Amino acid sequence: MTGPRWPERTGRRPGADVAAIRSQTAAAIAAGRWHISPPPQSILLGGVRCLHFAAPDPQGTVLHFHGGGYRIGCAEMMTLFAIALVARCGVDVICPDYRLAPDHPFPAALNDGWSCWTALRESSALPILLSGDSAGGGLAATIAAHGLPLALVPAGVILLSPWIDLSVTSGCYDRNAATDPVFSRASAKASAEDYLQGYPADAPLACPLSVDLHGFAPSFISVGTGEVLADDALRLHAALLAVATPSTLSAIDGMEHVAVMRDRTGTGAQETFAAIARFIDDRLSPLAIR
């Protein structure tokens, strides 16, 4: 693929709050916050900078997109999750540093994700699973959904507290406001506005729920029942089942937003990681690959 798949738009400078978080993240990287030895390889995949966490004899590849409301986050923050998958599942893990809003509004992140996905498909004979947490989960689901007409269907899709509906109208934002200390209606609305910048939240390129999901890959969806994104996960799970797509939903009481990525000692985190590993094992089994 040469150039963006979907036409891009001019962005704007981030607000002081987003700029401050990005600065803190850059300082943490420079200070070695997520350093491991040996370090992952920094690669270009489809023109996008990625971190490649390599297994000695990989059975497949997990292409994982980080969260952060499309405004913050980086590949380095996925290090502990990535090396745990490498060790447990014997897979390569690739984490892209896709472009962030509001500097690069929709569809820049989608173009970057698509470029990584198609470049990996072209360069590797290994089975590939698409994966993502929070906004990265929405990105992974959208890429998987738009691969259907082109027969670019991954071996599986892993969605951790996925942010699917950017309209921010779910009742969960009110019902679960007191039980979700990580994400909120206010932060979701600000993130969606910075990312979409006028693009319709319910358009197929922005919302996988607006796409015909027939043929979507078998999926694993994880969420805490007290999250403000609980309805997003439940709606996507129901939509996949409605078109006879195998979908496993893990909804855990008391588990915080993407706990498996942030704190493996937290409620539900170990259980979620074990379920992810089992899903990867199943999707990479000779019978599933055939």
**Tens of pLDDT along 3-32?**
578 999 999 999 999 999 999 999 999 999
Span of 123-127, 150-154, 227-231 with lowest mean pLDDT:
150-154
Question: Over pLDDT 90: what percentage of the chain?
Answer: 92
Which pLDDT does position 262 carry in this prediction?
Answer: 87
Closest CA to 139 of 168, 170, 160, 167: 160
Is the per-residue pLDDT at 249 higher than 90?
Answer: yes
Strand partners, 252: 224
Output the six-digit token pair for 262: 């942030």
Is the per-residue pLDDT at 123 higher than 90?
Answer: yes
Q: How far is residue 38's CA from residue 60's CA, in Å, rounded to a whole number?
A: 21
Please name the residue that has the structure tokens 């969420």: 223
Is the per-residue pLDDT at 150 higher than 90?
Answer: no
Strand partners, 156: 129
**pLDDT tens sequence across 261-280:** 988 899 999 999 999 999 99
Closest CA to 240 of 164, 134, 127: 164
* φ, ψ of residue 130 in degrees (nearest 5): -90, 140
Count other Cβ atoms within 10 Å, centred on residue 129: 29
Closest CA to 132 of 31, 222, 264: 222
Closest CA to 50 of 103, 123, 107, 154: 123
Is the per-residue pLDDT at 185 higher than 70?
Answer: yes
The structural domains of the chain, ordered by start, are 36-289 (3.40.50.1820)
Bigger pLDDT: 51 vs 4: 51
Q: How far is residue 169's CA from residue 141's CA, in Å, rounded to a whole number?
A: 19
Do residues 247 and 218 touch, judged by C-beta distance below 8 A?
A: yes
Do residues 55 and 91 touch, judged by C-beta distance below 8 A?
A: yes
Residues 6 or more apart from 253 whose CB is under 8 A from it?
224, 225, 226, 268
Region 38-48: mean pLDDT is: 97
Q: How many CA atoms lie within 13 A of 171 on its CB side?
A: 3
Closest CA to 170 of 160, 181, 162: 162
**pLDDT tens sequence across 171-183:** 999 999 999 999 9
Which pLDDT does position 244 carry in this prediction?
Answer: 96
Q: What pLDDT band is residue 1 in, cutting at 50, 70 and 90?
A: very low
The strand ranges marked E within the chain are 41-45, 48-53, 61-65, 92-96, 128-133, 156-160, 219-224, 247-252
Is the per-residue pLDDT at 290 higher than 60?
Answer: no
Region 80-85: mean pLDDT is: 97
Q: How far is residue 290's CA from residue 286's CA, in Å, rounded to a whole number?
A: 6
Is the per-residue pLDDT at 89 higher than 80?
Answer: yes
The whole model's pTM is what?
0.96
Region 27-40: mean pLDDT is: 96
**pLDDT tens sequence across 195-244:** 999 999 999 999 999 999 999 999 999 999 999 999 999 999 999 999 99
Is the per-residue pLDDT at 151 higher than 80?
Answer: no
Span of 33-47, 149-163, 246-260 with lowest mean pLDDT:
149-163
* φ, ψ of residue 275 in degrees (nearest 5): -70, -40
Q: How far is residue 126's CA from residue 109's CA, in Å, rounded to a whole number?
A: 24
Count other Cβ atoms within 10 Å, centred on residue 64: 28
Is the per-residue pLDDT at 287 higher than 70?
Answer: no
Is the per-residue pLDDT at 2 higher than 60?
Answer: no
Q: Cis omega before residue 208 (within 30°)?
A: no
Q: How far is residue 26's CA from residue 209's CA, in Å, rounded to a whole number?
A: 34
